[in-house]
Structure 1
């Protein structure tokens, strides 16, 4: 395939168009495209031709690209696994393995497997630890970043988190009180008062909560979304200038943008772009939908540039994620560059806000849909926290709430923050997974969405929200399979 692509890149396309008439081009171009896809299938350098899967996926990345763009990749992959079994070919060089036992092999730390080109689509400002594919550079970044997520650091962040949770509850209490007083025909972003009742769209509000918490921890100040009750953040008019000044930007030079909306657009774009081969991507960006997504990537980067610039313009002893990033050193004693610090802060915003808000909303949704479960949970909360004066439970108090933990885990099982199979490239020497050998260069993944619905692990009622399964099923099998944020400690940054 690389040889064919090399020849294609050497072709003088403008000159070819000038020399050949349109009817001839209409034959040549489709022929080249067909040959470029059929020859690799016949050659089968990855030895995966016999694995079942959608017909188009065997020849082209287009199938997975379309599926990803439509936003239901995990569900579609799940359905084809139900049709074809645990091994499914979802791209010319990519096999999805829907078996819990594959997790520890494909994603084992130190197995030599590298992140695939999928991660290149998530690069913004500078490569961060999430999208760095070079092993040496990743190890360097990991040394600097990993200590941030130690138990000691997490405990230091708790007061900030509890503060924003308290403000969040106060806002909902205020809206509820207004509704009780007979508010009618009044509405704002994510809420509406009608007939003395309050209707709240939970997703926007938990997005505000997540953005304010992560903004406070990663950038030194919340975005103010909870207080404003709307999706708002600021970016500098001149991003390049803001990065150069590195701390001399104020809101007078900024533009207000809907950050949550931009984040969602950026995520959809990167997920779809990531499955396309590198040589396809420049052409894909010419398509309006991808062009809008590319603009969202740049805009979201502006949020990090603006926030970091503002924070660093005012020195402080405050302990948060940004201060820890700045204080971090690699094995040679060198700190991260300003671009690296900003990129890592942006990664924390993306990874922390989107996953937190979606997971929180999923938990609320399933509890609301199941009043009997909500009642059982309320009983545990009353028994364990009923005499406490705190508005928000502390981390120590939450440790003695097993049914709450089961409710959270069950929601994460059904609606995982990382539901797709993160792609890994098989290293030199190949890899054997469940008695199947894969040569170097093959891309493998294990879809969380599917293994979280494995009847052999979770029971036959896998689509039912039932926290009790966490006390009934084989605990060893559950712990081996459950990976809502991928595998291992702090794996989201690996």
Structure 2
């Protein structure tokens, strides 16, 4: 007799428990094994390899995503197995630069997969809407905001934030005690030693706060990660009505954004049926709270901005002015959801990339010196911050930024697409409708056939040596096709202004010549820290 039998209902013996447990185990096993045996998409027929657990269950990819190194793990699988790797029962990763133009092409009918459902907050925005007609409508409203002409109107706000950052870094160098907590050790040899990632986070958040919500979050001035958040429910109709006064509290926005990215990127890999149960687990509960808090940041900022009419020309103004084909503007919740999309897309990507480029230039001083010579020749030793007009045609500056985006593409994972009716042939293999395909940027940015034998080395010179057409066809920092990053022009201008402004004024070295750029990946691949020594170039 089982020691637990006394605690079981009289009609439910331990033998019955074992029988039902065994049946449940068999059902779960059949749920995963039968699709593998039936092979509805022909993956076994085409002998597409991959880790055995990944062939049977989505949970394998979910576990990989939760560990924070998905892109590196998938890259290792491609190095082991080759061009095609099965990373989930119905998800094939294709490490072929030519596949980029097919999987994400205009007109192929492919849709975003259920992965994107895990990123919905308030309501679907341009990034996570999966309906083609709704995406077309939203893109029509939003895309004109990011035309090159419109983006130039935002330059003054970027330069204001950069000027504040330069002043704060000057205070760090001068030994200002208010910033003592940022110093990693006492200044030496006219250098201050600090983690530049924190400051790039403050800069990026203040810029996008100013552009998307009418004023910066004040992180640069405070030297701290803090933003106002509205305590709210999840009912979009209530946001539209905006009838009640919302409670406002302060939260660490950068940390919330990181937690949200890891939560959504992991949740998106799990089977849809399992997500309501996964949300009850402690790790996912923390991420779910981050999703709500991040939405609350947008709600608080939009409410504050709309309560005070202004003639500012910024992202929120442009979103308010936008109309669909029926001449209708966005409602309150849709406007807030799109502003939230811009907050997420415009903060993490800029800070990650700026930090990574600073690391690589500190690691390779020859590249840093060549960049600074180009900047000196173009700008002299002017005290005024450079303008976009002055730097937009500097070829080595562009190469420095592009090489940083290649070796540390913030969006490194393969973004999943569902093959439409009629199927799709990719790299010699036919995939029927319903197949899920992705092309990992991390891996194609390391393709030796395109980038040469040293893809792990940061070398801006390769942008003048390699076949230009091949490079542009493979380079994918902003995704590609109709679902590519709508804010590409703004991001490019920001990065050029940030790197030019900072490296014209300061010189950087690493704290340790063997120092690595440790990263952790949620949806985006983010540096964990970047400890550098900085000094002025001109006195």
Residue 176 of structure 1 aligns to a residue whose secondary structure is helix
Structure 1 counterpart of 2:160, from 122, 138, 163:
163
Over 3 Å off, 4+ runs: 16-21, 190-193, 237-242, 244-250
Report the equivalent of 1:5.
none
- How does the TM-score come out when normalised to structure 2? 0.84
Q: Please tell me whether residue 27 in structure 1 is matched to residue 27 in structure 2.
A: no
Point out where structure 2 has 5 or more consecutive residues left out of the alignment. 1-10, 488-539
Asked if structure 2 preserves the Cα contact closer than 8 Å seen for 1:248 and 1:313, the reply is no
CA distance in 2, matches of 1:388, 1:154: 25
Residue 52 of structure 1 aligns to a residue whose secondary structure is coil
* Structural mapping, 1:230-241, within 5 Å: 230-239=224-233
Q: Please tell me whether residue 374 in structure 1 is matched to residue 374 in structure 2.
A: no
Supply the RMSD in Å over aligned alpha carbons.
2.1
Asked if structure 2 preserves the Cα contact closer than 8 Å seen for 1:359 and 1:415, the reply is yes
Point out where structure 1 has 5 or more consecutive residues left out of the alignment. 1-15
Report the equivalent of 1:6.
none
Aligned residues: 471
- Once the 2 structures are TM-superposed, how far is the Cα of residue 387 of structure 1 from its aligned partner? 4.7
Measured at CA, do residues 420 and 468 of structure 1 come closer, stay the same or move farther in structure 2, by a change above 3 Å? same
- Once the 2 structures are TM-superposed, how far is the Cα of residue 17 of structure 1 from its aligned partner? 9.0
Residue 89 of structure 1 aligns to a residue whose secondary structure is strand
Report the equivalent of 1:347.
341
- Once the 2 structures are TM-superposed, how far is the Cα of residue 77 of structure 1 from its aligned partner? 0.5
Cα distance per residue 1:141-176 (max 9 Å; x no partner): 111111111011100101111111111111101111
Asked if structure 2 preserves the Cα contact closer than 8 Å seen for 1:149 and 1:490, the reply is no
Cα distance per residue 1:108-158 (max 9 Å; x no partner): 012100000010000000100110001111111111111111011100101
Cα distance per residue 1:370-391 (max 9 Å; x no partner): 112111111111111115442x
- Once the 2 structures are TM-superposed, how far is the Cα of residue 205 of structure 1 from its aligned partner? 0.6
Report the equivalent of 1:337.
331
CA distance in 1, matches of 2:43, 2:234: 46
CA distance in 1, matches of 2:14, 2:127: 46
CA distance in 1, matches of 2:125, 2:339: 9
Q: Please tell me whether residue 194 in structure 1 is matched to residue 190 in structure 2.
A: no
Identify which range, 237-246 or 193-202, moves more after superposition: 237-246
Cα distance per residue 1:63-91 (max 9 Å; x no partner): 11111110100000000001111111111
CA distance in 2, matches of 1:131, 1:341: 15
Report the equivalent of 1:153.
150
CA distance in 2, matches of 1:201, 1:411: 18
Measured at CA, do residues 395 and 145 of structure 1 come closer, stay the same or move farther in structure 2, by a change above 3 Å? same
Q: Please tell me whether residue 270 in structure 1 is matched to residue 267 in structure 2.
A: no
Q: Please tell me whether residue 425 in structure 1 is matched to residue 422 in structure 2.
A: no
CA distance in 2, matches of 1:444, 1:104: 13
Q: Please tell me whether residue 173 in structure 1 is matched to residue 166 in structure 2.
A: no
- How does the TM-score come out when normalised to structure 1? 0.91
Q: Please tell me whether residue 223 in structure 1 is matched to residue 220 in structure 2.
A: no
- Once the 2 structures are TM-superposed, how far is the Cα of residue 323 of structure 1 from its aligned partner? 0.8
Cα distance per residue 1:170-194 (max 9 Å; x no partner): 1101111127xxx7x9732x43451
Measured at CA, do residues 247 and 380 of structure 1 come closer, stay the same or move farther in structure 2, by a change above 3 Å? farther
- Once the 2 structures are TM-superposed, how far is the Cα of residue 353 of structure 1 from its aligned partner? 0.3
Q: Please tell me whether residue 243 in structure 1 is matched to residue 239 in structure 2.
A: yes
CA distance in 1, matches of 2:434, 2:331: 32
* Structural mapping, 1:268-417, within 5 Å: 268-390=262-384, 392-417=385-410
Structure 2 counterpart of 1:140, from 137, 141, 144:
137
- Once the 2 structures are TM-superposed, how far is the Cα of residue 18 of structure 1 from its aligned partner? 11
- Once the 2 structures are TM-superposed, how far is the Cα of residue 22 of structure 1 from its aligned partner? 2.4
Measured at CA, do residues 301 and 32 of structure 1 come closer, stay the same or move farther in structure 2, by a change above 3 Å? same
CA distance in 2, matches of 1:101, 1:17: 60
Report the equivalent of 2:255.
261
- Once the 2 structures are TM-superposed, how far is the Cα of residue 99 of structure 1 from its aligned partner? 0.5
CA distance in 1, matches of 2:125, 2:19: 46
Asked if structure 2 preserves the Cα contact closer than 8 Å seen for 1:247 and 1:308, the reply is no
Report the equivalent of 1:13.
none
Asked if structure 2 preserves the Cα contact closer than 8 Å seen for 1:247 and 1:309, the reply is no
Measured at CA, do residues 308 and 17 of structure 1 come closer, stay the same or move farther in structure 2, by a change above 3 Å? farther
Measured at CA, do residues 187 and 236 of structure 1 come closer, stay the same or move farther in structure 2, by a change above 3 Å? same
- Once the 2 structures are TM-superposed, how far is the Cα of residue 283 of structure 1 from its aligned partner? 1.6
Asked if structure 2 preserves the Cα contact closer than 8 Å seen for 1:112 and 1:426, the reply is yes
Asked if structure 1 preserves the Cα contact closer than 8 Å seen for 2:56 and 2:89, the reply is yes
CA distance in 2, matches of 1:17, 1:274: 38
Structure 2 counterpart of 1:45, from 40, 59, 80:
40
Q: Please tell me whether residue 120 in structure 1 is matched to residue 120 in structure 2.
A: no
Measured at CA, do residues 135 and 490 of structure 1 come closer, stay the same or move farther in structure 2, by a change above 3 Å? closer
Asked if structure 1 preserves the Cα contact closer than 8 Å seen for 2:112 and 2:417, the reply is yes
